[in-house]
Structure 1
Amino acid sequence: MSARMHLSGAHGSHPRDPGAEQFARAAEVLGLLADRTRLALLHALGKGEADVTTLTDAVGAARPAVSQHLAKLRLAGLVTARKEGRRAVYALTDGHVRGLVTEALSHADHEVSGIPRHD
């Protein structure tokens, strides 16, 4: 079975149970999301492409830390970078990453604000 096979019916395939490879990759991605700065970076990139200076301002972290986190996210395949002159411009690789961040923050909002949970 291909690691690229989708679990949901939204992509034209039938739902199936994830295998060890999918669980391992999901755990890796969720581990990367478990860091406040990386989560904030992904949230900022969910709004559109940005360079390191813009992202540093958006997340309130030191530039070297932001660069290190972006390197980890890029190595993991969650963000891409392209050169625009002398600066690198970062973007999310796909909507799945945006969805994960949105759901995590929505869950946190329910917890923090006391909004009733839902199915």
Structure 2
Amino acid sequence: MEKLAGEACDDTCQGTSSLDELKEGMIQEGTAASLADVFKALGDPTRVKIIYALLQQELCVHDITQVLDMGQSAVSHQLRYLRNLRIVKRRKEGKTVFYSLDDEHIEQIFVQMLKHVKHG
């Protein structure tokens, strides 16, 4: 079977020292797993819609159910998933719980990926 361009070769294409440096500076396993979890969370259209809504403004669970036309149980489940990954945070005011994006990094990632998708 013929090799296609870009397939693995038998010899090192880069100098061994640069590969050693790359290997030494490689992302740690735990960090890679956490990053993969964030991208996995973005792999669900419902969670993407929740994040998009929260990008616009802080919302309570009831408001999110209205915007997404979903049941409270389903929305709460998704919010818990996102909160466990530190994508969203909550703030309690009396009996009402408000949700927002956890920090500007989440906003930046989301906005950049949205631009990427709309560009292509």
Question: TM-score with structure 1 length normalisation?
Answer: 0.72
Residues 106 and 28 of structure 1, relative CA distance in 2, 3 Å threshold: same
Instruction: Give the aligned residue type for 1:73.
Output: L
Which AA in structure 2 matches 1:33?
Answer: L
- Could you list the runs of 5+ residues in structure 2 that have no partner in the other structure? 1-24
Q: 1:85 to 1:61 in 2, by over 3 A?
A: same
Identical-residue share of aligned pairs (%): 31
Corresponding residue for residue 37 of structure 1: 46
**2:32 maps to what in 1?**
23
User: Aligned partner of 2:103: which letter?
Assistant: D
Deviation of 1:82 (Å)? 1.7
Q: Provide the aligned length of Structure 1 versus Structure 2.
A: 96
Alignment-derived partner of residue 101 in structure 2:
92
- Measured in 1, the distance between the counterparts of 2:109 and 2:68 equals 18
1:50–1:89 contact (8 Å) kept in structure 2: yes
Extract structure 1 runs of 4+ deviating beyond 3 A.
Answer: none
Tell me, yes or no, if structure 1 residue 76 matches structure 2 residue 92.
no
Amino acid at match of 1:76: L
Question: Which has the greater radius of gyration?
Answer: 2
1:50-73 deviations in Å (ceiling 9; x for gaps) = 101111222232222111100111
One-letter amino acid matched to 1:82: R
C-alpha distance in structure 1 between counterparts of 2:85 and 2:77, whole Å: 13
Runs of 5+ consecutive residues of structure 1 not aligned to the other structure: 1-15, 112-119
**Do the aligned residues in 2 keep the contact of 1:37 with 1:61 (CA within 8 Å)?**
no
